[in-house]
Amino acid sequence: MRISMTAIVVVVIFAIVLFGAKRLPGVARSLGQSLRILKSEAKAMRTDGEPAAPPAAPEAVSGGPSEKTVQSAPGASSTARPVTEAEGEGRR
């Protein structure tokens, strides 16, 4: 099935008229997030029956707990900061 360039242009114009030019980026972002969630859930369903991988070897002990850092977003004015234990546990 081949889609012509005319059909694509008609769909884009229809989307702009239906949603408005200001709302299209938000709609596209929501669609992208939904597709990522769907993809991750489909992958989880495929690997659901497989045995778990063996645990990774522990890192070398350096006398204390290893410190993880969070990188700042591109263009952000702040720099990377250390992650506390409470923050690190909530993101799993």
Locate the domains of the chain by residue range: 1-47
pLDDT for the residue numbered 29: 92
Report residues of the chain scoring pLDDT below 70. 51-92
* Structure tokens, 72: 């700042």
Q: For residue 10, is it left (φ>0), alpha (ψ between -120 and 50) or beta?
A: alpha
**Rg of the chain taking only CA atoms, in angstroms:** 22
CB within 8 Å of 13: residues ≥ 6 apart: none
Q: What is the pLDDT of residue 46?
A: 86
Residue that the structure tokens 């991750």 belong to: 40
Q: Model-level pTM greater than 0.85?
A: no
The reported pLDDT for the residue numbered 9 is 92
Closest CA to 65 of 36, 86, 41, 37: 86
